[in-house]
């Protein structure tokens, strides 16, 4: 059935060899129809090939008496001999519909019927739906149509497209045919195919006159058509069955008599007698079916249609039940998947909640420890704050005292500075006095030296006289000069030199003044040293106080005046 053919093999022949000699074509045809369960037998026939010419097995003649091949095995093709005008209305049985679908599909793929690329892709999608059922992307992976022949070679060669690209186009249409049963998909295929120009047409070469150029005669369910040899799509002239009164042939000449007697009779010629007989058979059969369609259906056809209708209703109900069950199963599977997904989600949420709970417990423990530590730190800080407050108060008191001490210290420093200035002035004054004293001392020394020299001279002049009355003279020399002077004064020599007396008195007076001044300077030096020591001690105490308060250094007190005064006084006393 897949190739719509029947092979009478030797084994089959052996089974029916007792009857095959007497069998007519109808007997063999009925055997095939019973085998496949076909009741709409008027569309089909058994075709064989003789000398490159197709012929149909005649039902009223014995098989072996016809021009069948004598080869073994003998091959007959079970094919549709006549085509319906409207497949949806005339094809009753599902097997009839399936056989037409297989034959028309093969004719389209073999390019016996011309089909545009767009229609070819659409027809291929219905063929895939009839073969594979509903499209399932999980099952129908790319490449599942690689082994199927779905498009004519002419269409494949017309466009530069790969098989994958054609498969993608077919699959796009195929996915839209969901919930279409196999018989419905085949019917949709035939409904599209019956609108093609070459659908159900049998072509034969003819000539209108013996000398004219060749033409093509087309016989189909609508009537007879005359075509140009290069165009099988658009006929040049058509003779519908409703307008034909009679068709006859004499050897190679055919005559078509129109129903309208006013019209001319059309004659054409065929070169082969066997072809003429075949044309006549097709004309008679198509005309009979044309007339049959326009009459009331027979009881057998009505029963077949009623059974087919009941069968379709039953199958439709079964499909609906199956679709509901399938939908319920899909819903249940989706619900199961949703429940599993929800279960996994809840498990994940529970796991995450447990992890979050563990983390929160750890966080709570950590926060409790931190709170305890913070509480201890707060207590410590409060204690430190209290200590700091006490220290602040103590520092405030100390600061007040320090301010007072600082004020007193500044006052003392100012007094010390004033004292230092006074000391500097005194030192300068005393330095000048020292210079004068030095000068006076030098003058006194010079005067003393002169006086001593003069005294010695006088002593030398007077001493011999005194020595003559008293004792021997003392040893001479510079080291005994003072002793001689004292001796001279002690003996109080009675001489009347007024200069000598005056000089002695001046020397004695200057000596007494010098001794007083030296004593006075020594007293001032001691007093100044004690003041300097007290100032240094106060300065050290002040520096210690500022260090305790956090000062980097004590307030600035200029040292230049104090240092200069101290250095000047020290230099003066050292010089003295």
475 CB-near residues (< 8 Å, 6+ apart): none
Q: Calculate ∠ Cα 369-370-374, nearest 5°.
A: 120
How far, in Å, CA of 437 to CA of 431, rounded? Answer: 9
Element (H, E) at 197: none
Sign of the Cα torsion 16, 18, 24, 27 reads negative
Residue 60, annotated as binding a ligand: yes
How far, CA to CA in Å, does 565 sit from each of 425, 431, 517, 571? 8, 12, 21, 10
Residue 61, annotated as binding a ligand: yes
Of 245, 247, 203, the C-alpha closest to 225 is 203
Output 58-63 pairs: Cβ under 8 A, ≥24 positions apart. Answer: 58/25, 59/24, 59/25, 59/26, 59/29, 60/24, 60/25, 60/26, 61/24, 61/25, 62/21, 62/22, 62/23, 62/24, 62/25, 63/20, 63/23, 63/24, 63/25, 63/27, 63/28
Residue 210, annotated as binding a ligand: no
Of 189, 173, 120, the C-alpha closest to 150 is 120
Question: What is the biggest distance separating any 2 CA atoms in the chain, rounded to whole angstroms?
Answer: 228
How far, in Å, CA of 59 to CA of 36, rounded? Answer: 18
In whole angstroms, what separates CA 428 from the centre of its chain? 94
Asked if 226 and 235 count as a contact pair (C-beta separation under 8 A), the reply is yes
Residue 277, annotated as binding a ligand: yes
Cis peptide before 73 (omega within 30 of 0): yes
295 - beta bridge partners?
none
How far, in Å, CA of 328 to CA of 524, rounded? Answer: 131
Residue 58, annotated as binding a ligand: yes
Structure-token match 């658009």, residue found: 234
Of 102, 122, 109, 114, the C-alpha closest to 170 is 122
205 - beta bridge partners?
216
Token output for 283: 């004309």
Asked if 36 and 5 count as a contact pair (C-beta separation under 8 A), the reply is no
SS in 3 state form for 323-334? HHHHHHHHHHHH
Asked if 209 and 102 count as a contact pair (C-beta separation under 8 A), the reply is no
How far, CA to CA in Å, does 450 sit from each of 44, 369, 444? 187, 106, 9
What are the φ and ψ backbone dihedral angles of 244, each rounded to 5 degrees? Answer: -105, 130
Per DSSP, the three-state class of 267 is strand
Question: Which residues does the annotation place in the binding site?
Answer: 58-61, 277
């Amino acid at each position: 059935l897949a190739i719509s053919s029947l092979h009478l093999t030797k084994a089959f022949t052996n089974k029916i060899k007792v009857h095959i000699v007497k069998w007519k074509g109808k007997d063999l045809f009925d055997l095939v129809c019973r085998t496949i369960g076909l009741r709409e037998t008027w569309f089909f026939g058994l075709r064989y090939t003789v000398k490159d010419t197709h012929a149909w097995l005649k039902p009223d003649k014995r098989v072996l008496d016809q021009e069948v091949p004598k080869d073994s095995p003998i091959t007959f093709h079970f094919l549709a001999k006549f085509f319906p005008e409207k497949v949806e209305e005339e094809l009753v049985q599902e097997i009839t519909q399936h056989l037409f679908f297989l034959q028309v599909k093969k004719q389209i793929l073999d390019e016996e019927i011309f089909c545009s690329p767009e229609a070819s892709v659409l027809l291929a999608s219905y063929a895939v739906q009839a073969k594979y059922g509903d499209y399932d992307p999980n099952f129908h992976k790319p490449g599942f149509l690689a082994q199927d022949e779905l498009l004519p070679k002419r269409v494949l060669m017309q466009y530069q497209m790969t098989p994958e690209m054609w498969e993608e186009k077919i699959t796009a249409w195929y996915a839209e045919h969901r919930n279409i049963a196999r018989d419905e998909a085949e019917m949709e295929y035939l409904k599209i195919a019956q609108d093609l120009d070459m659908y159900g047409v049998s072509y034969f070469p003819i000539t209108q006159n013996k000398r004219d150029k060749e033409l093509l005669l087309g016989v189909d369910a609508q009537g007879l058509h005359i075509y140009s040899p290069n165009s099988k799509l658009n006929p040049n002239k058509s003779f519908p069955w409703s307008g034909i009164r009679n068709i006859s042939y004499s050897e190679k000449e055919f005559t078509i008599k129109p129903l309208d007697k006013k019209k001319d009779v059309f004659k054409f010629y065929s070169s082969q007698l066997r072809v003429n007989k075949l044309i006549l058979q097709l004309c008679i059969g198509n005309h009979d079916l044309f007339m049959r369609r326009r009459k009331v259906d027979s009881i057998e056809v009505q029963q077949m249609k009623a059974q087919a209708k009941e069968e379709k209703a039953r199958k439709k109900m079964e499909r609906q039940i199956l679709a509901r069950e399938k939908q319920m199963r899909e819903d249940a599977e989706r619900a199961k998947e949703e429940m599993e997904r929800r279960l996994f989600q809840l498990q994940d949420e529970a796991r995450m909640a447990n992890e979050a709970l563990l983390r929160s417990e750890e966080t709570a423990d950590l926060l409790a420890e931190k709170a305890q530590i913070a509480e201890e730190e707060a207590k410590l800080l409060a204690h430190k704050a209290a200590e700091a407050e006490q220290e602040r108060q103590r520092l405030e008191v100390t600061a007040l005292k320090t301010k007072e001490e600082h004020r007193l210290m500044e006052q003392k420093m100012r007094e010390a500075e004033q004292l230092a200035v006074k000391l500097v002035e005194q030192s300068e004054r005393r330095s000048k006095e020292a210079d004068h004293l030095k000068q006076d001392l030098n003058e006194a020394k010079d005067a003393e030296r002169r006086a001593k020299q003069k005294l010695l001279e006088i002593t030398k002049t007077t001493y011999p006289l005194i020595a003559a009355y008293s004792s021997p003279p003392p040893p001479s020399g510079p080291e005994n000069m003072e002793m001689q002077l004292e001796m001279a004064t002690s003996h109080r020599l009675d001489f009347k030199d007024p200069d000598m007396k005056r000089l002695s008195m001046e020397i004695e007076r200057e000596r007494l003044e010098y001794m007083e001044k030296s004593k006075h300077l020594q007293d001032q030096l001691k007093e100044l040293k004690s003041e300097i020591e007290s100032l240094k001690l106060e300065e050290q105490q002040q520096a210690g106080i500022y260090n305790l308060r956090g000062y980097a250094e004590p307030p600035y007190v200029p040292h230049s005046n104090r240092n200069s005064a101290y250095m000047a006084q020290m230099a003066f006393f050292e010089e003295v």
